[in-house]
Structure 1
Amino acid sequence: MQVFRPRIAIAGGGPSGLALGLLLSRRDIPTTIYDLRRPPTPQLLAKPSGMLDLHQESGLKTIRECGLWESFQAALGDCSEATRVLNKDGDVLYTDEGELAYRPEIPRNSLTNMLVQSLPQDTIKWNKKITAAHSARSATTGATEVTLHFGSNETATFDFVVGADGAWSRVRKLLSEVKPLYSGVYNLTVTLRNASTKYPHLAELNGSGSLIALGDRNGIMTHRGPQDSIRVYGAITTPDEKWPITAGLHRKSAAELKDALLGNNDLFGGWAPPLQHLLATACDEQTRDNPIPPDTDSHDPDLLQPLYMLPVGYRWQHRTGVTLVGDAAHLMTPFAGEGVNLALWDALDLSRVLSGFSEAKDAAEWQEMLDPRVREFEEAMQRRAAEKAEETARNKDMLLSENGAQALADTFNMFRDMKAAGASPEGH
């Protein structure tokens, strides 16, 4: 008798989608991953990117189960776990060398490359933008079929679809009409390379790991990265969801944004000169490394972006044949470092669900067996995501308060005291 093999699709090739595809392939369960981007080139993957600190119970556990521990270790080293906290006047309020917890930092591009290179060939279908998804019960088989729609009237139908397609997930629309909410924060992302040789004073200011400077409800947060880089994030609190347009900053280069950010005392105009110099230099280097192409006025779309989040405690009604993972399921701001860790945790748990029962004779029986396990997966994921979302919201409010630097330094010192007393500090 022919063995039934379910048709499984993963919408989105971020960390959760790629990890899920790899974990299933290691269990001999084929999947198809659809991603709207072009295949990443070696040149793109070599560029500095955001650093991700992976946690023992989630990200690191998933890396081990993916069989990537040695590759992961080889990709470390660009950013230490050291942390410095400064106030807006440049006073150092707290330092550590990463002794409070083991949360190694890996470049996002390196993590992506590890996962992509480990997947079976042709698993990922690049340049496939999902424009819509719908589900319907087959009159012939009695099974639920989920159809993904792409451009040019192209479609593909599956027995199970995982929405790993990020903040503005198309797959999420099958489960609820809830949309992400503006968090009240804008984020600027700029990078300077070759810091130790070109700007040794900035490399010394930053240190080998991360620097967090906070005050007046704004922040400059950095980390070291590939190519001897310093990645600089500017967190700006504003109730205006369309702030760049309102402020006349829409479609500006980083070098042009620099003057607006440093010339306004409500932003970074009153900050210590070394911190201003760090931000200004990163803005200039960002523009120098990414010149505007000829015959176009386009700029890097990722420089100044609003941060969105799903409502804390977001849940959906279970539906046969579809579920969500990662940002599609629990989008939150980055102020607890939990996003990618939860995404990888989701992938690990869902891979066990999809491989955790005996073979079925057809799609309808397979879905009937799968449904209660997916419900349990969703409930567990939603509970832990709600806890991390609450933590993230508290962190955002603390960090971007009037005296965020002192509040963060006090928190880290509390964790240090707990560790010295033999306790295991949560949330660091």
Structure 2
Amino acid sequence: MKEAVHKDNNWTICEECQGRGKKSRRLNKKVRLDYQNALEQFEKTNGEGIAPLKPKAPLYNCLKCSGSGLIPAENAPAPNPDYPHVAIIGGGIGGVALAVACLHRGIPFTLYERDNHFEARSQGYGLTLQQASKAIEGFGIFSLNEGVVSTRHLVHTPEGKVVGEWGVRKWIHSDERTAPKRSNIHIARQSLRLALLEQLGDNNAVKWGHQLLDFKQSEDKTIDLRFEVNGEIKNTKADLVVGADGIRSVVRTLLIGEKTPLRYLGCIVILGICPLSALEDVESELLDSATVFQTANGNERIYMMPFTSDSIMWQLSFPMSEEEAKTLSSLGTQALKEEALKRTQWHSPIPQIIQATNTEQISGYPVYDRELLQQELLENNGPITLIGDAAHPMSPFKGQGANQALLDALTLARGIYKGCKSKDFWKENGLRKSVLTEFESEMLERSAVKVKDSAAAADFLHSEIVLFEADHPRGSCLKNK
């Protein structure tokens, strides 16, 4: 990521590209003529066959904002009352990201979080920004001081034999000419969440301690929301409600019930964070804070990545019945650590890292997702929608949950900005027609392949496939079949 030139500045959208970060080039003459000819031929057949698709204009990065969609501003844009007021339910990464994107566009919002403060509970361990490593600039974040870039990825057998290697260092060593299009950035989930919260200005930007109880649409088409706050009931209104409240989303349950219940993926995950300082007597090139490695035996699989510049995160997973997984996770962190040690007496430095991990930095849980959400379940519910894990929860094995939540947030904010410039228009036509139908269609189509691939990974990462000798990410061979 490039260094931030205006690190402490406020941001507003770039008028050149309307905050999209990209501009459209005009279709060339040949493409336009080919489409017109195909359309004429189709019309001559009285609509028989398949109509030609109208070609989309090619996009290029806006030069004024360098593709971020944002430019520095003296002050954050004031909320524009012509835009709908957005109630964002959930102060995790997706919810805070949506709040930030609304702030930059002058879209009025209120961000509600059930926790009483930022550190109230664990918000997960580390995550890897993949597609979102570029999209994060769309939130005014041009550098992540806590982020670590990996340049090498290795796959081992339990004995330490390398059966796969890729990354910048591999390509350079093999004189590969093609450079990677983007870098994967590893960062603690809370560090990214804090970087986003800082864009909002202060701690008062979040309504902490607000547990959503229910909502209903009123006669004027606004949404009445009811919260429990410090044991008391609080009522409020919004034009648009966005559920960003995770895999066990209250908004989703109130909206569609249990039509798509949690789906167990057949395995448990045990997570831990170990400071490198606890490994003073362990020498390994794998602990250079720029290497990601995984080791597997066809059943158990451990994945290790830099958490910060001076710590490493590990994720052990293995098949287990749902009841056994629930029982193990309920026994506490010491039991989880003992189980992890028992299953990973493998090559160095794996046993040493797990042994050196403080039990306070260990957690474990059964892995779930949900059946793909169909847009029909949302389209009759008025101005209420879902993003992130509330919309498309997935297993952690492809590292896509946070990436998709960030893309959801940016896409929705851009859709509101584009579709609601005229208050009379969105009031008359409704937010579903003005914004939500198009947004949900794009979001669900984009995320569907990630949900499917993540579910598939829960199977193949715990099978012999992971041990195939190949210098590319595990599972790529499946896509070539």
Equivalent residue of 1:172, what SS? Answer: helix
Counterpart-to-counterpart distance in 1, 2:446 and 2:386:
14
AA matched with 1:286? N
Write the deviation string for residues 42-71 of structure 1: whole angstroms up to 9, x where unpaired: xx99x9973332234xx13431221211x3
- Distance verdict in 2 for CA 1:314–1:189, change over 3 Å: farther
Report whether the alignment pairs 1:281 with 2:323.
no
* Offset at residue 124 of structure 1 (A): 1.0
Query: What's 2:391 paired with?
Result: 329
Cross-structure match for 1:216: 298
- Structure 2: gaps of 5 or more residues: 1-79, 172-179
Matched, 1:133 2:214: yes
Counterparts of 2:384 and 2:166, CA distance in 1: 44
Aligned: 1:258 with 2:337: yes
- The number of residues matched between the two structures is 382
Distance between the aligned counterparts of 2:123 and 2:444, measured in 1?
32
Deviates more, 1:160-169 or 1:333-342: 333-342
SS state of the match for residue 391, structure 2?
helix
Alpha-carbon contact 1:53-1:337 (below 8 Å) kept: yes
SS where residue 154 of structure 1 aligns? strand
Maintained 8 Å contact 2:154/2:165: yes
Q: Within 5 Å, which residues of 2 pair with 1:215-254?
A: 215-226=297-308, 228-245=310-327, 250-254=330-334
1:259–1:107 distance in 2 versus 1, CA, 3 Å = closer
What is the CA–CA distance in structure 2 between the aligned matches of 1:305 and 1:213, rounded to whole Å?
20
User: Is 1:50 aligned with 2:125?
Assistant: yes
TM-score, normalising length: structure 2: 0.71
SS at match of 1:155: strand
Deviations 1:248-276 (A, max 9, x none): x633333x43334444xxxx16x425365
For residue 331 of structure 1, report the CA deviation from its aligned partner: 0.1
Once the two structures are superposed, residues 206-228 of structure 1 have per-residue CA deviations (whole angstroms, 9 ceiling, x without a partner) of 76321111123221111112261
Query: Given that residues 398 and 408 in structure 1 are in contact (C-alpha distance below 8 angstroms), is that contact kept between their aligned partners in structure 2?
Result: no
Deviation at 1:354, TM superposition (A): 1.2
Equivalent position of 1:295 in the other structure: none
What is the one-letter code of the residue matched to 1:308?
Y
Partner of 2:244: 164
* C-alpha separation in 2, matches of 1:414 and 1:137: 49
Amino acid corresponding to residue 193 of structure 2 in structure 1: T
Q: Sort the Cα spacing of 1:374 and 1:134 in 2 relative to 1 into closer, same or farther, 3 A.
A: same
Alignment CA distance shift 1:23-1:137 (3 Å) = same
Residues 377-396 of structure 1 show CA distances to partners (whole Å, capped at 9, x for unaligned) of 10111111111112222222
Q: Verify: 1:189 aligned to 2:268, yes or no.
A: no
The answer to whether the Cα contact below 8 Å between 1:84 and 1:210 also exists between their aligned partners in 2 is yes
Equivalent of 2:423, from 353, 360, 376? Answer: 360
Pair 1:341 & 2:403 matched: yes
- How far residue 279 of structure 1 moved from its aligned partner, in angstroms, is 5.2
Shift of 1:94: 1.8
For residues 60 and 234 of structure 1, the distance between their equivalents in structure 2, rounded to whole angstroms, comes to: 25
Report the AA paired with residue 277 of structure 1: P
Give the 5 Å matches for 1:255-404. Answer: 256-263=335-342, 268=343, 271-274=345-348, 277-278=351-352, 280-282=354-356, 285-287=357-359, 290=360, 303-312=363-372, 314-315=374-375, 316-318=377-379, 319-357=381-419, 358-361=421-424, 364-365=427-428, 368=430, 370-401=432-463, 403-404=464-465
Do structure 1's residue 90 and structure 2's residue 166 form an aligned pair? no
Matched AA of 2:137: R
- What do the CA deviations read for 1:159-195 (whole angstroms, capped 9, x no partner)? 1110000000011123312222121111111111134
Residue 7 of structure 1: CA displacement? Answer: 2.5
Once the two structures are TM-superposed, the CA of residue 196 in structure 1 deviates from its matched residue by 7.6
User: Of the two, which has the highest radius of gyration?
Assistant: 2
Q: Given the superposition, is the C-alpha separation of residues 206 and 4 from structure 1 closer, same or farther in structure 2, using an over 3 Å criterion?
A: closer
Corresponding residue for residue 421 of structure 1: none
Q: Which blocks of at least 5 consecutive residues in structure 1 are unaligned?
A: 291-299, 419-425
Q: Verify: 1:17 aligned to 2:92, yes or no.
A: no
Q: Which amino acid aligns with 2:92?
A: G
Residue 313 to residue 362, structure 1, CA distance change in 2 (3 Å): closer
- Return the match for 1:75 from 146, 156, 163: 146
2:135 counterpart (48, 62, 67): 62
Question: Quick one: which amino acid aligns to residue 238 of structure 2?
Answer: F
**Distance in 2, Cα, partners of 1:371 & 1:180:** 30
AA aligned opposite 2:129: L
Q: 1:146 to 1:362 in 2, by over 3 A?
A: farther
1:355 is paired with a residue whose SS is helix
SS of the residue 1:89 aligns to = coil
- Tell me if structure 1 keeps the 8 A contact 2:84–2:240: yes
Inter-CA distance 115–199: structure 2 relative to 1 (3 Å threshold):
farther
Contact 1:80 1:209 in 2 (8 A): yes
Q: 8 Å contact 1:87–1:405 — kept in the other structure?
A: no
- The whole-number CA distance in structure 1 between the counterparts of 2:384 and 2:394 is 21
Larger RCO (CA within 8 A; separation ≥ 6): 1
What RMSD over aligned residues (CA atoms) do the two structures have, in Å? 3.3
C-alpha spacing 1:363/1:108, structure 2 compared with 1 (3 Å): same
Tell me how far apart the structure 2 counterparts of residues 336 and 307 of structure 1 sit (CA, whole Å).
13
- Relative to structure 1, the CA distance from residue 166 to residue 412 in structure 2 (aligned partners, 3 Å threshold; closer, same or farther) is closer
Whether the aligned pair in 2 keeps the contact of 1:313 and 1:389 (CA below 8 Å) is no
Asked whether the 8 Å contact 2:240–2:383 carries over to 1, the reply is yes
State the 1:12 CA deviation.
0.8
Q: Secondary structure at the match of 2:318?
A: strand
* Letter aligned with residue 156 of structure 2: L
Partner SS for 1:85? strand
Kindly provide the CA deviation profile for residues 305-354 of structure 1, in whole angstroms up to 9, marking residues without a partner as x: 11110114554331211000000000000121211111111111100111
